[in-house]
Amino acid sequence: MGVLSNYLFANVTELRVLSFKNNGLTRSLPNLSKVYFIKQIDFSNNNLNGSIPVSLVNSTFLEELYLQNNELTGFSVSDFNGDERSSLIILGDHLDPLNKTILHSNWTSAHCYENVSHWIGIRCMNGRAVQLFLEGMWLDGSIPWDVFANVTELRVLSFKNNTLTGSLPDFSNFHLIKQIDFSYNKLNGSIPLSLVNSSLLQELYLQNNELTGSIPAFNQSSLKAFDVSNNQLTGSIPNTAVLNSFNEPAYLGNDLMCGTKLSHDCSMSPSPLPSSLRSPLPSPSPSPSPSPSPSASPSPDDRSKSSGLSKDILALIYIVSAALVLIIIVLFASLYQKFI
């Protein structure tokens, strides 16, 4: 029993654990703003009243807080949303295992208190995380989507300009989501069909990834901004009023996709594949030379005529050769007589 003074811990600043569990303490909780390194606080099962000090929200190293079975007022322990906080810490650890970012040093204390957050990339409303901005933070690996089972109040989810891999999740549990930005990553797989049913979705940015498959038939009137350019999407752009409202740049860079918003309309014959993607055609086998037909063989009369012509030509050659030899002999004889 008794009262803990607000000045009691002013000079006891190195405490890591503080426990007054199962006593009869009364009045309010003490001021622990000077106990910078506190990790565990247990005032459970007492008769404490008053409000929980806001200073506890700023306790950077606080890991465990037990205040049950008292008469405390103000915000309750549940306002710390421990499940949501734990899930976000798991997310940060998974995407930054080598401590390359400041998440590990910053995501330590309570993540939300009413409309205030002391965590980088987090915005809060009524003690819950409603916006998650982790843009350009060198995060890599695949997102453990199951952690979002406890992060259910998100309106904005942005992982723009990181090196995330893996596929996008089923967004059925993101009932309040308004803006999604996963542009400039290395995500693959298809665009989740569940996004078509996101009635509050206003902005969807998925450009510059490695997404495949076709575009779902988005047609919710809330969707005002849309970009799926520079992926590996295929097929035709669904002919919906909403998708037709976006200009060509939202679809460019998907070479196997067609539609009225692109220069390659689906009614046109498909463009030839680049030579690097075409299979080589088999070389044609040489055609056998046609064998001469029997009708083309020379007749006996033709053969006899050809033989006679050959003999006449040979005789003429002999005569001409003999004449040339005779002329050469006469020339040598005349020259011989002159020199004698």
Q: Look at residue 293 in the predicted model and tell me its pLDDT.
A: 42
What value does the mean pLDDT take over residues 9-24? 84
Q: What is the pLDDT of residues 192-244, one digit of tens each?
A: 999 999 999 999 999 999 999 999 999 999 999 999 999 999 999 999 999 99
Q: Any idea which of 101-105, 239-243, 281-285, 307-311 has the lowest mean pLDDT?
A: 281-285
Q: What is the mean pLDDT of the chain?
A: 81
pLDDT at 54: 67
Say which CATH class 80-258 falls into: alpha beta
The span from the CA of 308 to the CA of 306, in Å, is 6
According to CATH, the superfamily of the domain at 1-78 is Ribonuclease Inhibitor (3.80.10.10)
Q: Where are the domains of the chain?
A: 1-78, 80-258
Q: What is the pLDDT of residues 160-192, one digit of tens each?
A: 999 999 999 999 989 999 999 999 999 999 999
Which of the pair, 149 or 111, is modelled with greater confidence? 149
56: closest CA among 103, 118, 115, 145? 118
- What is the rounded distance in angstroms from the CA atom of residue 208 to the CA atom of residue 233? 11
pLDDT digits (tens, 9 = 90+) for 267-287: 764 444 444 444 444 444 444
Q: Place 75 in a pLDDT band, splitting at 50, 70 and 90.
A: low
Instruction: Give 183-242 as a DSSP string.
Output: -SS---SPPPGGGGG-TT--EEE--SS---SPPP----TT--EEE--SS--EEEPP--HH
Of all residues in the chain, the percent with pLDDT exceeding 90 is 39
Question: Per-residue confidence at 53, pLDDT binned at 50, 70, 90?
Answer: confident
Got the DSSP string for 1-21? -EE--TTTTSS----SEEE--
Is the predicted pLDDT of residue 32 greater than 90, yes or no?
no
Looking at per-residue pLDDT, the higher value among 272 and 149 belongs to: 149
Same fold? 1-78, 80-258: yes
